[in-house]
């Protein structure tokens, strides 16, 4: 999906849940790759995990001595619309609580509209089961082509007990089924919370309050499982701090903010360590064969890249080559025992590097020539039916020359690697 922001500036005012003070919030469009940032005075606080200082009953971000808090409902609404770039100006510590759900934020954003931007978002795909447990609580991530959440709550309270709900998430479903679900609490906790300086703005207008006899609000539950749905809302807001939309299934049992953030930090660590149980997809546009023809001069039978799966300008390119028995070179290499020539695997790497370099505006229409090869190694043979994944990492790129590290994989197996030296020239 493309990166997104809002079409124009908009503001809203209301009471803060924790402080009980009136606060004004202004949402402003932001440029490509800006991210989501809270602004208080001259301080900008990115909505990122590294700024989380508390995940007890709310999410608190802090930079220097400036903090923002109770941001999870707003972040869930932004995640619903896949908004990746936004400026959030606050004249207090927290966004207004509104009615205790995300519905007010959803309606605010819908009133001004979404603007798609030129660059592409990255998506975090779950490739294998990931689980965390803590006492009787758990969070499990499972591979799936869809984004699905199943949430179960269990309270030792006569009016709640165990409650479970499940949704395949999309924008429409979030707006209709999740966004209206309100935050909740217990009457016997209110006094203790206020002694701790919390929930000063809480009321029956912005929270479901439960005592031993049931819900004391005049308004009935909006859904029979509203409490579990609100937990899904919190989970979406918390995980958005990871910075990537998720593709996979989540099964949650009694998790709260602290466990949600613990899971997000675990995923962030695995991204950093390039753990193959998760995968980052997208970034810039996934370039297909038709678009590759507009970048590279190569043509049949010497075009050896079928698709660019991922590309970050000046940082990385990942290409795909489907190896077919119909390739011309298999006629003579070798009859009865087809093996892809190693030099063509290196050539395929070089073509991915060529797409990376020639995609830059200043290099459009130019040519990339081999200038040298170093540290070439062939690890395993490549045969018909294999799918080559070609990874290119620039080491040094100047105006007319450059060096890249290239690796070729079939599945998880490294089949070839090399250091590629090249020059850029006019046609």
Integer Cα distance of 125 and 143 in angstroms: 8
pLDDT at site 59:
97
pLDDT at site 376:
97
pLDDT in tens, 145-167: 889 999 999 988 877 889 999 99
pLDDT at site 175:
97
> To the nearest 5 percent, what fractions of the chain are helix, strand and coil?
25, 40, 35
pLDDT above 80 for 365: yes
| pLDDT range class, residue 397, cuts 50, 70, 90 | confident
pLDDT above 70 for 238: yes
pLDDT at site 285:
55
pLDDT above 70 for 286: no
pLDDT at site 284:
52
Do residues 88 and 245 make contact, with C-beta atoms less than 8 angstroms apart?
A: no
pLDDT in tens, 62-111: 999 999 999 999 999 999 999 999 999 999 999 999 999 999 999 999 99
pLDDT in tens, 99-109: 999 999 999 99
pLDDT above 80 for 287: no
Do residues 32 and 85 make contact, with C-beta atoms less than 8 angstroms apart?
A: yes
Domains and CATH numbers, the chain: 2-281 (3.30.1700.10), 289-425 (3.10.129.10)
Catalytic residue among 230, 298, 333, 337: 333
| pLDDT range class, residue 264, cuts 50, 70, 90 | very high
| pLDDT range class, residue 120, cuts 50, 70, 90 | confident
Annotation says 333 is catalytic = yes
Record the tokens describing residue 303, joined without a space. 């075009």
| pLDDT range class, residue 294, cuts 50, 70, 90 | confident
User: pTM of the entire structure?
Assistant: 0.71
pLDDT at site 237:
98
pLDDT in tens, 151-209: 999 988 877 889 999 999 999 999 999 999 999 999 988 888 888 888 899 999 999 99
**What is the average per-residue pLDDT within 205-224?**
92
pLDDT in tens, 1-44: 789 999 999 999 999 999 999 999 999 999 998 999 999 999 99
**Residue of higher predicted confidence among 76 and 364:** 76
pLDDT above 60 for 288: yes
pLDDT above 80 for 283: no
Do residues 305 and 144 make contact, with C-beta atoms less than 8 angstroms apart?
A: no
Annotation says 337 is catalytic = no
Integer Cα distance of 217 and 212 in angstroms: 13
**Residue of higher predicted confidence among 292 and 312:** 292
What distance separates the 2 farthest-apart alpha carbons in the chain? 83
Catalytic residue among 73, 157, 230, 257: 257
b/e string for 271-284 if b means 16 or more Cβ within 10 A? beeeeeebbebbbb
């Amino acid at each position: 999906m493309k990166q997104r922001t809002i079409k124009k500036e908009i503001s809203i005012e209301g009471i803060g849940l924790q402080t009980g003070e009136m606060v004004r919030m202004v949402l402003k469009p932001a440029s490509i790759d800006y991210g989501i940032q809270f602004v208080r005075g001259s301080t900008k606080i990115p909505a990122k995990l590294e700024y989380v200082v508390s995940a007890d009953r709310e999410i608190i971000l802090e930079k220097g001595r400036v903090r923002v808090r109770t941001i999870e409902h707003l972040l869930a609404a932004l995640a619903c619309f896949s908004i990746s770039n936004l400026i959030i100006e606050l004249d207090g510590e927290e966004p207004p609580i509104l009615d205790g759900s995300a519905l007010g934020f959803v309606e605010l954003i819908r009133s001004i509209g979404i603007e798609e931007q030129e660059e592409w978002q990255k998506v975090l795909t779950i490739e294998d089961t990931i689980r965390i447990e803590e006492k009787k609580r758990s969070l499990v991530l499972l591979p799936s082509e869809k984004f699905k959440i199943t949430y179960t709550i269990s309270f030792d309270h006569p009016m709640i007990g165990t409650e479970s709900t499940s949704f395949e998430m999309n924008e429409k479903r979030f707006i209709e089924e999740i966004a209206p679900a309100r935050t909740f609490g217990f009457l016997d906790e209110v006094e203790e919370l206020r002694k701790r300086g919390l929930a000063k703005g809480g009321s029956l207008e912005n929270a479901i309050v439960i005592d031993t006899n049931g819900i004391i609000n005049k308004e009935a539950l909006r859904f029979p499982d509203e409490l579990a749905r609100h937990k899904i809302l919190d989970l979406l807001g918390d995980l958005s701090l990871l910075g990537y939309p998720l593709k996979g299934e989540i099964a949650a049992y009694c998790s709260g903010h602290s466990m949600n953030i613990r899971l997000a930090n675990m995923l962030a660590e695995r991204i950093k360590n390039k753990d193959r149980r998760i995968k980052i997809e997208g970034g810039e546009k996934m370039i297909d064969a038709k678009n590759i023809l507009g970048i590279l001069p190569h043509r049949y039978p010497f075009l050896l890249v079928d698709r660019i799966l991922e590309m970050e300008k000046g940082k990385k390119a990942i290409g795909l080559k489907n190896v077919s028995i119909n390739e011309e070179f298999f006629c003579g290499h070798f009859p009865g025992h087809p093996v892809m020539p190693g030099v063509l695997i290196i050539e395929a790497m070089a073509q991915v590097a060529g797409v990376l370099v020639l995609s830059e505006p200043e290099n459009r229409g130019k040519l990339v020539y081999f200038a040298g090869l170093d540290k070439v190694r062939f690890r395993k043979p490549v045969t018909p039916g294999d799918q080559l994944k070609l990874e290119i990492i620039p080491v040094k790129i100047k105006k007319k020359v450059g060096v890249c590290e290239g690796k070729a994989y079939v599945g998880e197996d490294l089949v070839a690697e090399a250091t590629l030296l090249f020059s850029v020239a006019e046609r």
